[in-house]
Structure 1
Amino acid sequence: MIVLIVDGYNVIGAAPSLKLLRDEDLGQARELLVNQLAEYQAYTGYKVIVVFDAYSVHGIEKKEKNSRVEVIYTKENETADERIEKLVKEIKNIQTQVYVATSDYTEQRTIFAQGALRKSARELLNEIKSIERSINNEVKNNSLIKNRSKIPLNKDVLDLFEKWRRGEK
Structure 2
Amino acid sequence: MVKAEDWRDILLVDGYNMIGAWGELKQLSQANLEEARDQLLDMLADYQAYSGRRVVVIFDAYRVPGLGVSYKQREIQVYFTKEKETADECIERLVRELRHRRRQIYVATSDLIEQHVIFAQGALRISARELKLVIAQAKREVESQIKERAQKPLKRNPLEDKLSLDVLLKLERMRRGNQEDSK
Structure-1-length-normalised TM-score: 0.87
**Equivalent in the alignment of 1:103:** 110
RMSD: 1.3
Q: Which residue of 2 aligns with 1:144?
A: 151
Return structure 1 stretches of 4+ with deviation > 2 angstroms: 148-151
Identity across aligned pairs (percent)?
47
Match of 2:35 among 28, 32, 36: 28
Question: Which of 1 and 2 has greater Rg?
Answer: 2
CA distance in 2, matches of 1:148, 1:46: 33
Q: Which residue matches 1:161?
A: none
Q: For residue 139 of structure 1, give the secondary structure of its aligned residue in structure 2.
A: helix
Structure 1: how far apart are the matches of 2:154 and 2:123? 46
1:150-165 alignment, distance < 5 Å: 150=160
Q: Which of residues 53, 62, 65 is equivalent to 1:58?
A: 65
Q: Distance in 1 between matches of 2:72 and 2:52?
A: 16
Secondary structure of the residue aligned to 1:6 is strand
Aligned-partner Cα distance in 1 for 2:52–2:93: 23
Q: 1:88 aligns with which of 88, 95, 100?
A: 95
Q: Which moved more, 1:118-127 or 1:136-145?
A: 136-145
Q: What aligned pairs does 1:73-84 form with structure 2 within 5 A after superposition?
A: 73-84=80-91
Q: Which amino acid aligns with 1:41?
A: Q
Q: What are the ranges of 5 or more consecutive residues in structure 1 without an aligned counterpart?
A: 152-169
Q: Give the letter aligned to residue 23 of structure 1.
A: Q
Matched pairs, number: 152
State the 1:14 CA deviation.
1.1
Measure how far apart 1:148 and its partner are. 3.0
Residue matched to 1:167:
none
CA distance in 2, matches of 1:146, 1:55: 55
